[in-house]
């Protein structure tokens, strides 16, 4: 018996002397413990349980017949409002502020109307105050021209949390998020 214990001690010393062998021994021991635990748990499975069926008598009366009638619910094909749209009470649509004088020729007034129409066609997607705005999907910085067919060119002047200010020939236009 002493000889067997001496041999086990020698094997233990040989395995723990090398770090790699000792790590391998620890990992194999852990994996063996996991499998051993699974075998024990699989061997001790609980017996299957079955419930007795109980018959319940439904009360007979006028309220049961009304509940049995199917109710038809009519739903709209589309939602009434877009849940992703911005409420106009908090973010009103484009306002125009003018710094130009009232006594301008008709051609300039016509150009201003075209510019106002062009601004109303633009969509402000996002703002990153104080210098960046996303207008019609394009990221623009303050001082850059808004691309488009309108003459005179619109320039991004200011960027705020909920709106951006554009300028063309001294007239300013406020573009708000919708």
H helical segments located in the chain: 2-17, 19-43, 62-68, 106-121
Helix, strand or coil, per DSSP, at residue 78 = coil
Query: 18: Cβ–Cβ under 8 A, 6 or more apart, which residues?
Result: none
Cβ–Cβ < 8 Å for 114, 124: no
Q: What's the pTM value of the predicted model, to 2 decimals?
A: 0.40
Q: In this predicted structure, what is the pLDDT of residue 6?
A: 92
- Closest by Cα among 168, 136, 143 to 158: 143
Cα distance between residue 104 and residue 96, in whole Å: 17
Q: In this predicted structure, what is the pLDDT of residue 101?
A: 47
User: In a structure prediction context, what are the per-residue pLDDT tens digits for the chain, which is 178 residues long?
Assistant: 889 999 988 888 887 888 888 888 889 999 988 888 877 766 655 556 566 676 766 666 655 555 577 888 887 777 777 777 776 676 666 655 554 444 445 556 666 677 778 888 888 999 988 889 998 888 999 999 888 776 778 899 999 999 999 998 888 989 998 7
């Amino acid at each position: 018996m002493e000889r067997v214990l001496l041999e086990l001690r020698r094997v233990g010393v040989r395995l723990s002397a090398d770090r790699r062998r000792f790590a391998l021994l620890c990992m194999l021991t852990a994996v063996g413990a996991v499998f051993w635990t699974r075998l024990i748990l699989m061997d001790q499975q609980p017996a299957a349980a079955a419930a007795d069926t109980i018959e319940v008598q439904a009360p007979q009366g006028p309220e049961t017949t009304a509940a049995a009638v199917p109710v038809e619910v009519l739903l709209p094909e589309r939602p009434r409002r877009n849940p992703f749209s911005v409420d106009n009470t908090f973010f009103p649509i484009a306002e125009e502020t003018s710094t130009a004088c009232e006594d301008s020729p008709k051609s300039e007034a016509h150009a201003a109307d075209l510019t106002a129409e062009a601004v109303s066609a633009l969509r402000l997607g996002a703002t990153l105050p104080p210098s960046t705005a996303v207008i019609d999907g394009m990221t623009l910085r303050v001082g850059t021209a808004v691309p488009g067919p309108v003459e005179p060119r619109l320039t991004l002047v200011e960027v705020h949390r909920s709106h951006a200010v554009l300028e063309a020939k001294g007239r300013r236009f406020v573009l708000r998020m919708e």
